[in-house]
Structure 1
Amino acid sequence: MKVFLVDDEKGIVTGLKKLIGRYIPECEVVGEAYNGLEGARLIQDREPDIVITDIRMPHADGLEMIAMLKDAGCPAEFILLSGYADFDYARKGMQLGVRYYMNKPVEEEELRDCVCKVMNGIREDRDKLQEVDELKQEVRSRILESTLRDIIDAGGDNSVYVGEWLRMAGIPEEHTRFVCALLEFDGGSGTLAENRMNPVFRHVDRALNRFRGVYRFRYAGSQLAIVVAHGEDIESGEIARSLNRLKEAVFRELQLSMTAGIGMVKDKAVEISSSFEEARHALSYKVIQGARTVISYPEIRSLTGERRNVPEELIDKLEAALNNMDEEKCISLIGEIFCWMEAEFIASPAELQLLCLNIVLSSVRKMSFQQLQQNDFLGRHILSLEGISRFRTLERLEQWMVEVIQGIIAFNLEHNISKKKDIIAEVKKYVAEHYNESISLAELAARYFINPYYLSQLFKQKTGDTYLNFLAQVRINKAKELLEKTNLKVYEISQTVGYSDTQHFSRLFEKLTGCKPSEYRRNSNV
């Protein structure tokens, strides 16, 4: 640690330097001064950890020097050299926060004990500060993760909220383009244990350090979501090359196999959710492209555009039968679909596999990732390469698809996901009861085993409004009631209705009511 010495007697300064050099090797004397004014100037320049200073000195005594340094924000710890007659000075030193004293003449043992005590105190304080900083960083990371989850799951009908969220997260919106990626690591949800997350994050940051803003977080199970925000020169090809380098690095250094899906580059922040949905769709094609690949959405779009597609009418019927958990009807429709394939003379194994994948993905598009992953059978047959890629004939593929549909129905029955359930009514009831809690779209989707993107679309279709508008209106209505009937302060009401950021609450309140919370309270009391 760095030590600075201040005393108007040069002999004392020289003696202290020798004692410190001989008995306290952990310390380095970085400067010395012979009066308080000179000491104040040099200490601010040298930034020592510990200052040993006499009290009685010309120009400015030790206490005046300490007061000047404290006013300037100096974080050093001070040791006062005092005689038995300097009790009044020592008392003033205590008022300045000085905790350590030594009597003149200074003995080597007293010096060593006092300086070691100061060093231990400094280390303890620094450890506490580091803990606080780490806690703040964790809180910021949680807020950012929650914000990004809301953005990628909200859909394009929430432009007002997306802009507000980006401001809260400190993500620039103007002159910025956005692109999303979804990474999946082989080995199931246990692959990315907490102790492995930080090394993976460091590799992500290193691979994408060319871009202005890179925001990454665990999305679900063994999946990581990435949102890249950059200037107008961002290109999807450059993202793909960066993720290919990342894929090789995590395999080489962490022994992790990674597959990635990349959405399209978007010019507007409200399209972030669209880019993420494209990335998720691209990732699902790993059953065709293979594991340890980087798959971009434009690549998939061109791939599917060149091939024949199963009639949408059959897909819709299969989806409806699956929703009603009508196993017999599902099997019958799968038979019709494969009759169509045979009539179309589709014989290429790759094309058969791709068509089957499209059918399954279309049929389960309402399901959440958690719903697919929680069921061991579905995880093996939809989320891994063990299923579709090894079946190369119509008969085997048809059998595989029947097993997948039966597995989905069995899962729904096991978890009491009734075909009669009105998901939107249940969501609205849950929000009305839990409006003061953190209830993001992703959390609701997981609760009701439904794809968050689909839930967003279904909510808008059923109610004519977005989920986020509905949640905000429920909270603001409760806030209005509290403003009218209680004396709670605005920040207390903000927290009571579920908003930890009072400024965000006030802006939203004004947006939805036309006046600030304080104005609303005054008007309601007139």
Structure 2
Amino acid sequence: MKLIVVDDEKGIVDGLRRMINRYIPECEVIGTAHNGLEGFELIQTLQPDLVITDIRMPKADGLDMIKMLNDVGSQAKFILLSGYTDFEYARRGMQLGVHYYINKPVEVEQLRECVGQVMEKIRLERTKMQEMNELKQEVLTRKQEKAWRDVLDLGSDNSDFLEELLQMAQIPMENASFLCAILELDGSAAAMKELSLHAVFEHIDRIFKQYQGVFRFRYAGSQVAIVIAHGESIKYEDLVRASALLKEEVQLELNLSATVGIGTIQKSAAGVSQSFEEASYALSYKFIKGSDEVIPFPEINNLTGPSHAVPEELIAKLEAGLDNMDESGCVETIREIFRGMEAEKNMRAADHQSQCLNILLSCVRNMPFQQLQQNDFLGRHILSLESISRSRTLEHLEEWTLKVIRRIISFKLEHNIPKKKDIITEIKDYLVKNYKEPIRIADLASRFFISPLYLSQFFKQKTGETYVNFLTQIRINKAKELLQSTDLKVYEICEMVGYSDTQHFARLFEKLTGCKPREYRKNIPNA
């Protein structure tokens, strides 16, 4: 404990310093002063834990000094030292929050007992403060995690709403750059217990500590989402190196194999969802490059390249065939794609192989990573660069690609993965029935056997809005019904329609209806 002695008698100051140094080793006298004004300046500068001060001193007495320090927010504890027994001093001291007194002449036992009591009080207060701060940080962390989930699920359409979400979660945005990465852990379910995740989070926090904001949370299955926010310029190569270090440490110290997909740097929070999509896309290449890799999105972009691109309508046709497990339709589409590649006389073998990468990723991007990992044939033998490179002729490459397509369809049938012809209708029905529950896109993806990113894109493509907006409208409509037909309090209705934050619910309600919940209820008879 740091301690300062304030007394206008030099002999008393020197005597107290010797007694404390000899009999109270837990305390260190870091300074002394000889009047109230000098003590006021010294205490503000050195910020001691404890001050022993005389009452009657020149320029400003001890009580005046304490009042001035209280006014500027000093957290020091005070022991009053005086040869006077005047009740008025004690009364004024109590009004200033001082509860400890030592009479002159000072005896060792009295000094030790009084200082010991004050130190114990300081320790208790610090413990409580630490517990309170940890609780506040936990609440804030969960609030920030939820905000980032909403941002990732909403996409970049509603920038005003995204900014509001991040402001409510106390996430810095002004002049900040953002980047997303996804860490995917390989191994058994036991490896993903919360204890292991906590250790992974500690590694993430330490390795990326140079950045102003580091947000990490379990996103889906064995995936950990990482969002970096930094007020200064971010060097992409530094992030790639830090990600490689993270992967190595997780493997060496936690015995967990990991793959990292990294998106690009975005200049605003509205671009976070794009960076996340890029990280997810990069991560999907683990089935081509192998697991235990760090895969930056620009590297994948350069690998595939824009030249000789397969027409989007053919890729969409292939995806639809896979969704409906239409083997003959998929075979016909693959044949058509390869006839187009055959007609491009200037295409090299590397170009053919690059096109196969794009085709394969289209085949697997809407399937959950966890299911792909369960299939040894797909994950280890088929989806690898080595397998592609072995096919030296276009004919061999075509037959190999057909083999992969047939095996994927077989895999879907073996795992009873439903056709996706009416999946949006099924998802809508599920949301309508379960709107009260905390529904995350990762939960939906797992339930309907589809990857979170593909589900988000597919839902918006088919409905014109995100699943979050659709779910929000359901909840607000139900809240309107409850406001009309019941006397439930607003916070009760908030909980009944699936929200835990009343303020957040009220803002959403006002955004969609034009008025606050209480105003809506008040104006119902006039509607």
Asked whether the two chains share a fold, i.e. TM above 0.5, the reply is yes
Other-structure match for 1:388: 384
Assess, with a 3 A threshold, how the Cα gap between structure 1 residues 440 and 223 changes in structure 2: closer, same or farther. Answer: closer
Partner amino acid for 1:407? F
Q: Is the Cα contact below 8 Å between 1:5 and 1:32 reproduced in 2?
A: yes
TM-score normalised over the length of structure 1: 0.77
CA distance in 2, matches of 1:249, 1:482: 53
User: 1:60-459 maps to which residues of 2 (within 5 A)?
Assistant: 62-81=62-81, 85=85, 90=90, 93-94=93-94, 96-171=96-171, 178-184=178-184, 190=191, 193-206=197-210, 209=211, 215-221=215-221, 223-228=223-228, 238-239=235-236, 241-250=237-246, 255=251, 259-264=259-264, 269-289=269-289, 292-297=293-298, 299-300=300-301, 303-307=304-308, 309=310, 313=314, 319-320=319-320, 322-324=322-324, 326=325, 329-330=326-327, 333-334=330-331, 337=334, 341=338, 354-372=354-372, 376-377=374-375, 381-382=378-379, 387-391=383-387, 392-393=390-391, 394=396, 399=403, 401-411=405-415, 413=416, 417-419=417-419, 422-432=422-432, 434-459=434-459
- Deviation track 1:191-217 (CA, whole Å, cap 9, x = no partner) reads 8642132223322344xx4xx766554
Three-state SS of the structure 2 residue aligned to 1:306 is coil
Deviation string, structure 1 residues 435-463 (Cα, Å, up to 9, x no partner): 45533333433343322333334434554
**What is the deviation of 1:188?**
6.9
Aligned partner letter, 2:378 = H
Deviation track 1:236-274 (CA, whole Å, cap 9, x = no partner) reads xx42x2234224534666656765444455566544323
CA distance in 2, matches of 1:335, 1:525: 62
Deviation at 1:76, TM superposition (A): 1.1
Provide, for residues 286-336 of structure 1, a one-character-per-residue CA deviation record: whole Å limited to 9, x for no partner.
4445553543347536625335649955x6565445444x5xx53884598
- Aligned partner of residue 48 in structure 1, secondary structure: coil
Stretches of structure 2 lacking an aligned partner (at least 5 in a row): none
Q: Residues 441 and 456 of structure 1 are in contact (CA less than 8 Å); yes or no, is this contact kept in structure 2?
A: yes
Q: Distance in 2 between matches of 1:311 and 1:433?
A: 36
2:289 and 2:453 map into 1 onto residues whose CA distance is 24
Distance 1:285 1:420 in 2: 23
- 1:25 corresponds in structure 2 to 25
When residues 92 and 429 of structure 1 are mapped into structure 2, their CA distance, relative to the original with a 3 A threshold, is farther
TM-score by length of 2: 0.77
Does the CA-based 8 Å contact 1:215-1:228 persist in structure 2? yes
Distance 1:258 1:246 in 2: 14
Structure 1 runs not aligned, ≥5 long? none
In structure 2, relative to structure 1, the CA distance for the partners of 1:516 and 1:103 (3 Å cut) is same
Contact 2:317 2:333 in 1 (8 A): no
Using the alignment, how far apart are the partners of 1:64 and 1:351 within structure 2?
83
How has the CA–CA distance of structure 1 residues 201 and 522 changed in structure 2, closer, same or farther, with 3 Å as cutoff? same
Q: Letter of the 2:301 partner, please give it.
A: I
CA contact (8 A) 2:63 2:92 kept: yes
SS of match in other structure, 2:208? helix
* Alpha-carbon separation, structure 2, partners of 1:311 and 1:458: 15
Q: Distance in 2 between matches of 1:385 and 1:140?
A: 45
Corresponding residue pairs, total: 506
Q: Look up the match of 1:50.
A: 50
Amino acid at match of 1:520: Y
Distance 1:38 1:298 in 2: 64
Residue 384 of structure 2 aligns with an amino acid whose one-letter code is: I
For residues 58 and 122 of structure 1, what CA distance do their matches in structure 2 show? Answer: 29
Tell me, what secondary structure is at the counterpart of 1:305? coil
Partners in 1 of 2:512 and 2:21 — Cα distance?
68
Kindly indicate whether the alpha-carbon contact (under 8 Å) linking 1:44 and 1:74 is maintained by their aligned counterparts in 2: yes
Contact 2:6 2:33 in 1 (8 A): yes
CA distance 1:381–1:128, change in 2 (3 Å): farther
**Residue 166 of structure 1, CA deviation:** 3.4
C-alpha distance in structure 1 between counterparts of 2:169 and 2:449, whole Å: 28
Report sequence identity in percent: 53
Distance 1:485 1:56, change over 3 A: farther
- The 1-side partners of 2:8 and 2:486 are apart by 64
1:475 & 1:336 partners in 2: Cα distance? 42
Residue 157 and residue 25 in structure 1: after superposition, are their counterparts in 2 closer, same or farther (change >3 A)?
same
CA displacement, residues 377-399 of structure 1 (integer Å, 9 cap, x when unaligned): 26x734x6885344334466655
**Amino acid paired to 2:203:** P
Given that 1:262 and 1:294 are in contact with CA atoms closer than 8 Å, whether structure 2 keeps it comes out as yes
Compared with structure 1, are the counterparts of its residues 339 and 436 closer, same or farther at alpha carbon in structure 2 (3 Å cutoff)?
closer
SS in 2 for 1:52: strand
Q: Is the 8 A contact 2:153 2:468 kept in 1?
A: no
Over 3 Å counting, the alpha-carbon distance change for 1:498 and 1:60 in structure 2 is: farther
Conserved 8 A contact 1:183-1:259:
yes
Deviation track 1:343-375 (CA, whole Å, cap 9, x = no partner) reads 9679988667655543443233333345545xx
Counterpart contact for 2:179–2:265, Cα < 8 Å: yes
Contact 1:264–1:298 (CA under 8 A) maintained in structure 2: no
Q: Deviations over 1:453-474 (max 9, x none)?
A: 3333443455444322222223
Aligned equivalents of 1:419, 1:30: Cα separation in 2: 75
1:46 deviates by 3.0
Distance 2:341 2:469 in 1: 47
Task: Name the CA distance, whole Å, in 1 between partners of 2:525 and 2:79.
Answer: 59
Provide the rounded CA distance (Å) in 2 between the counterparts of 1:339 and 1:461.
Answer: 25
Work out whether residues 188 and 222 of structure 1, in 8 Å CA contact, stay in contact via their aligned partners in 2: no
Distance in 1, matches of 2:238 and 2:473, equals: 42
- Contact conserved, 1:243 with 1:294, CA < 8 A, in 2? no
Asked if 2 retains the 8 angstrom alpha-carbon contact of 1:261 and 1:297, the reply is no
> Aligned partners of 1:343 and 1:377: how far apart in 2?
31
Alpha-carbon RMSD:
4.3
**Secondary structure class of the residue paired with 1:11:** helix
Amino acid at match of 1:292: E
Partners of 2:414 and 2:475 in 1: CA distance: 38
Distance 1:14 1:311 in 2: 86
Going from structure 1 to structure 2, the CA distance change for 1:25 and 1:349 (only over 3 Å counts) comes to farther
CA offsets 1:219-251 (integer angstroms, 9 cap, x no match): 4455443445568977xxx42x22342245346
Alpha-carbon distance in structure 1 between the residues aligned to 2:464 and 2:311: 31
Give 3-state SS (helix, strand or coil) of 1:519's partner: helix
CA distance 1:38–1:157, shift in 2 (3 Å): closer
Distance 1:435 1:10, change over 3 A: farther
TM superposition shift of 1:80: 3.4
1:131 aligned partner, one-letter code: E
Deviation at 1:20, TM superposition (A): 0.5
Deviation at 1:339, TM superposition (A): 9.7
Per-residue Cα deviation, 1:3-48 (whole angstroms, up to 9, x for no partner) = 1223454433332111011122332223334555554454333321
Please list the CA deviations of residues 83-118 of structure 1 after superposition, one character each: whole Å capped at 9, or x if unmatched: 795667556645544344444433223322332332
| Distance change in 2, residues 1:40/1:490 (3 Å) | farther
Q: 1: distance between equivalents of 2:125 and 2:493?
A: 35
